[in-house]
Structure 1
Amino acid sequence: MQSLMLGIDGGGTRCRGRLTDSEGRVLAEATGGPANVWSQFDAALQAIEAVINTLYSQAGLPEDARDSTTLVAGLAGANVASVRHRLERWQPRCQARHLFTDVEIACAGAHAGEPGAVFIIGTGSQGAAWDGAQFTLLGGWGFALSDAGSGAILGQRARRLALLAHEGIVPASSLTHRIMATHQHSAEQMLLWSKAATPADWGEGVPEIFAAAREGDVHGVALVEQCAADLVQMVQPLLARSHGKLALMGGLAEPITPWLPAAIATHLVAPKSDALSGAIRLAHQFSQQPV
């Protein structure tokens, strides 16, 4: 049986998988449910296993093909030591299994295995740098403690500012007025909403914040500038470990780029490929190593 490479990108929204042969030809791709091993460990593993089963089924391969497969899984939440310890007991049928975080495989994909850094900024945020020998991770500790530069943090700051303007503590603007309108111009309604709000809920208004900033809204500009400053603080230590190459990934990567200082913008490069490609690349590298 020929050697196979299996890449898994397990995130908080979905799990993606790709199966290739030793020459890199794609045999199957599949998508499944959320796979954040920190927030929902058992459900995440079930989603991953379901994607793996689908891949072999789509490729029309027999069960024993798994014994010739090198698996690389990049999983959200795998940066937490206690979760990593639990994952060591996960033994899917394969020739070899290697565990990473989702941001590490994204880094491997973005720079085609060469030294470089990535900072993923969506609802949450996390960064990784590869210096040619090891990964360095920064951030990724969740909305309550981390996620600097993320959509959730930006959205939370915007609502805090809107509430200050609503109470006359700071001047109002078109942006703060529109935010309060989503809560019926009621501090109590905003309070009730916040009790059950998820990070994704906090980040829902991010496109409006960027639009307001581009239009010159004083609060929109201040919010986006603070978001950019948070990003700069996070990526500076990553750049120091990555030979000066940085790829921004995630939903905020494009809108935040014009707001970055030239000292950071000059280091930006476009990602060469995605996280799944990074997982497959790592799997291929591992498969070439002597046993």
Structure 2
Amino acid sequence: MASYRSIRNALLAAVLLGIPVLLLRSAAQEPQGLSGFDRAVRRVGAPLEAGVSYAAGSVGRFFERWVLQARLQEDNEELEADNRKLRLELRALSAVEDENKELRRSLQMREKVPEDMIAAEISGVEQSPFFRVVKLQIDRGDAFVRPGMAVIADAGVVGRIDRADEHHADVMLLTDPRSKVAVEVARTRAPGILAGEDEDTCTVLIPSDFPVQVGDIIQTSGVDELFPRGQPVGHVVRVEEVANDQQKVHVVPAVRFDRLDMVWVVLASAPPPDPAADQTRKPPQAAGLGPLR
């Protein structure tokens, strides 16, 4: 049984090795010099040769697509890496742009407000169940600020320092019912005390002798020596007559508390103007000396 298998395997190997040899032999000869055996080998081997060529071509195309796909994957990974790098650079440029905006705002605030101030960033926000901001927290502690100090932004008045600990301070907003700010109508200079009413608006009582219109700008009057004079507080949205010849004016704050990222704390009021600042002063004459004659 073992010898039969050996003979069979030897014959199969001889056939498999002989067929290519015969095909090569017939392919190497000129068509005019082919014998009948060689022509028969060509006729029999032509389909086999075509099948082998097709299979080899298919395998070659498969590997070509595989290599191309691998290269495309490498190119895709490089593009993704470049994209990540560009996104990081764009984020850095955006941070620089935001910093430049903050610096410009700082310069503008310094030009508009003569009082001594310190900048602070918003470090926390407290919201109501209706997602309205009711309290802010800044990153300045009791080493820099104290309760009662005014807090303003480039858009206008924010509120006052409510309490301060070692690292942070809470800001009581204009809309807080405990808030009181001395204000005036910018158009008529009608004075009043602005009080917080709810999460959206404030109210101020104005004598009926001073007509108030919807859209009028309310600004700080400075009489409380807390907020710098002329800072925007808000605009009038509704006016209603009340008893004792008073108008109850409803005001929407000028500052969007939910969009703040930086505020200013007023540390000290500006000194009063010097009435003699514009007068020309003569230099003092040295003792014991007089003008040359």
Same fold per TM (> 0.5)? no
TM-score of the two chains, using structure 2 as the length reference: 0.24
Report the TM-score, using the length of structure 1 for normalisation. Answer: 0.25
Q: Which has the larger radius of gyration?
A: 2
Task: Select the structure with the greater relative contact order (CA < 8 A; seq sep ≥ 6).
Answer: 1
Structure with higher helix content: 1
